[in-house]
Amino acid sequence: MTVNRRAFLGTTAALTGAAMLPGFALAGETIKLGSVLDTSGIFDAYGKPMDMAMRLAVSQINAAGGLLGKQVEVIAYDTQSDMALYSQYAQQLTRQDKVDVVQGGILSASREAIRQTMRKTKTLYFYNVLYEGGVCDRNIFINGVTPAQQVAALVPYAMGKSGKKVYILAADYNYGQITARWIQKFVTDNGGETVGVDFFPLDVSDFGSTIAKIQTAGTDLVIAPLVGGAHLSFFRQWAAAGMKDRIPLASTTLGVGNEHKVLTAAEGNGIMVAYNYSQELDTPANAAFKAAWAAAYGDSKAIHELAVSNYQGVMTWAKAVAQAGSLDREAIITALESGLSIDGPAGKVTVDPKTHHAVLDVHLMEFENQGMKVIETLPQRQPIDTQSVCDLAANPGDNTQYEIDI
């Protein structure tokens, strides 16, 4: 996933407090948490709130007494949206800083750039971003939704509000291509027909000819796994062409980085999504989280799906350390594989022992006045796509990102 930071000028003002929140106390021996994220560059609208969420989690852990009688120290590196820096900082975190855990990565490419380093150095790794599924590695724990958790919920809901003929517009890289195949599968499974699939490089911003093609294809519904600032232009052009009220839209990506707040209400209202988190979730846990964020940073406007996923990843690790009573990697993995769960801002998060992915609540939502109105909550959805190829209980030495047969 990518985003053009210039498109998020309205959001970045809320992020200036990120560096002001203390991540750790320096008295005595510490537990070292490594973080590697894009907190500058073209992906910073994702990375800055993720960094803020990680620091908030660590601050809360330390305020409650830390872990194992020690404070948690944050050692964080900004990759500046440069993939080569992920590899460099992964080496530095594991071999020089000798951190106890690493939480980080945004793009699937960034995850794969550092995952083998974490495995070789036996440094526990958490990747906290929605992605295409299929990673099977006992050293990694993944807290983002996969297509079987998200797309399987979104497609029948969106088709039920529109019709059976679906047109897919997707980003032309790994995530978009694989997600488009999942959408086609679930369209077929729900008695529908895919009438068109188009892929777009991340720098494409003119969708005029595509909009004209959709109009002539007999389309009932458009589902758009489009990514980034350039692709945001599609939603604006769709509304400007008068199409938004004629053919409904759904997306698997729009809003995870607060993109819906860049669109006007007229451009965004009614677009259907399915994610693990919305600021509009009316729960005590979410209210407490937003209040804590506002107290730390001044307001809660910057919170988004990936930030909350990162927060939940840190809290999942912390609970496993406490349960293990040790920093030994094997002891922590055993604790995580016990079916450990936390109650986070987005709901219950449970570790699936066989895949090391999260079992998560998925919320069907529609954009309303630059917010995400929750329509229905589907509790504790399993990552059945990755479960079909990964069983770490039976094959603990597996080290593969599977291309799942769809």
Q: Quick: pLDDT tens for 84-101.
A: 999 999 999 999 999 999
Q: Which amino acid, residue 46?
A: Y
Decide if 136 is inside a domain: yes
The answer to whether residues 14 and 141 belong to one domain is yes
Domain harbouring 155, CATH code: 3.40.50.2300
The answer to whether residues 319 and 263 belong to one domain is no
| Confidence category of residue 404, pLDDT binned at 50, 70, 90 | confident
| Confidence category of residue 332, pLDDT binned at 50, 70, 90 | very high
Decide if 367 is inside a domain: no
Last residue of a domain, one of 275, 296, 313: 275
How far apart are alpha carbons 195 and 193 in whole angstroms?
Answer: 6
Compute the residue count for the chain.
406
pTM recorded for the entire structure: 0.88
The answer to whether residues 225 and 258 belong to one domain is yes
The answer to whether residues 166 and 111 belong to one domain is no
How far apart are alpha carbons 381 and 149 in whole angstroms?
Answer: 6
Range scoring the smallest mean pLDDT among 52-56, 59-63, 177-181: 177-181
Structure tokens at 310: 């990162």
The answer to whether residues 151 and 252 belong to one domain is yes
| Confidence category of residue 23, pLDDT binned at 50, 70, 90 | very low
How far apart are alpha carbons 351 and 382 in whole angstroms?
Answer: 10
Residue entry with tokens 């007229």 = 266
Decide if 119 is inside a domain: yes
The answer to whether residues 79 and 16 belong to one domain is yes
- The residue among 108, 104, 80, 145 whose CA lies nearest residue 305 is 145
Percent of the chain with pLDDT over 70: 93
For 340, the 3-state DSSP assignment is: coil
Decide if 181 is inside a domain: yes
Average pLDDT over residues 302-314: 96
Decide if 374 is inside a domain: no
> Quick one: pLDDT at residue 287?
96
393 torsion bin: left (phi>0), alpha (psi -120 to 50), beta (else): alpha
Average pLDDT over residues 130-134: 92
Decide if 375 is inside a domain: no
pLDDT in tens, 267-297: 999 999 999 999 999 999 999 999 999 999 9
The answer to whether residues 12 and 101 belong to one domain is yes
- The residue among 380, 365, 375 whose CA lies nearest residue 272 is 365
CA distances from 213 to 8, 221, 250, 254, 268 (A): 30, 13, 18, 22, 21
Last residue of a domain, one of 249, 275, 301: 275
More confident residue, 230 or 152: 152
CB atoms closer than 10 angstroms to residue 403: 13
> Quick one: pLDDT at residue 333?
98
Decide if 377 is inside a domain: no
The answer to whether residues 172 and 80 belong to one domain is no
The answer to whether residues 287 and 141 belong to one domain is yes
Tally the domains of the chain.
Answer: 2
Contact 225, 253 (CB under 8 A): yes
The answer to whether residues 338 and 395 belong to one domain is yes
| Confidence category of residue 257, pLDDT binned at 50, 70, 90 | confident
The answer to whether residues 135 and 23 belong to one domain is yes
> Quick one: pLDDT at residue 12?
34
The answer to whether residues 140 and 154 belong to one domain is no
More confident residue, 43 or 350: 350
Average per-residue pLDDT for the chain: 91
Decide if 307 is inside a domain: yes
Last residue of a domain, one of 227, 254, 275: 275
**Which range marks the domain in which residue 121 is found?**
5-145+280-360+386-401
